[in-house]
Amino acid sequence: MMIECLSMKEWSPYLVGAGIGVLNILAFLLSDKPIGCSTAYTRASGMIERLLRGSKVNEKAYYRKFVPVVDWEVMLLAGIVLGAFLSANLSGEFRPEMVPALWRERFGSDPFLRIAVAFAGGVLLGLGARWAGGCTSGHGISGTTQLAASSWLAVICFFIGGIATAMILFGAGG
């Protein structure tokens, strides 16, 4: 039964939402911290920089606030990546693609363009998440749960920005 559930191609959004809600409650109860992923990227960048520059990284004000260590947020991020990979594999849907079909139809099959745009988008998302004080999971899950006005505003902007970007890139009809 459990393996059958894990191998489904689509999961119930209600069940997944309830699971994320339980995870959010456990995060607050066990760590007194909200769920979020963007800080894990910050910590990872600090760990990479420490490998290249040594302990000077620890002197930076930013990394004194966001200490570059492996903590539960880094492990949550690793779990998200691993979980997505396992889910795709178990459902039989995993197939590596350099250029997804939707992108290829709209922008062509050049993998370097796709990689460049994905990289630029990732950088912009990372900067935006740090500037906004959190990412979609931090604001959308944890912040809205706490009824933070800034998180509700951020989530509204996430949706507006996502819809506008999709319409610009792929047209109003998808």
Which single residue is written with the structure tokens 């691993």? 82
User: Looking at the domain assignment, is residue 1 inside a domain?
Assistant: yes
Q: Does some domain include residue 128? A: no
Determine, yes or no, domain membership for 172.
Answer: no
In a domain, 158, yes or no: no
pLDDT in tens, 62-114: 889 888 999 888 898 899 899 889 988 888 888 888 898 888 988 899 999 99
Rounded to 5°, the CA angle 35-131-120 comes to 95
Domain range for 30:
1-96
The domain tally of the chain equals 1
Question: What amino acid occupies position 136?
Answer: T
Q: Is the separation of the CB atoms in 106 and 76 below 8 Å? A: no
Q: What are 139-159's pLDDT values in tens digits?
A: 888 888 889 998 999 899 989
Distance in angstroms (rounded) separating the CA atoms of residues 128 and 122: 10
pTM: predicted TM-score of the whole model, two decimal places:
0.74
Percent of the chain with pLDDT over 90: 25
Residues 151 and 52: beta-carbon distance below 8 Å? no
36 belongs to a structural domain:
yes
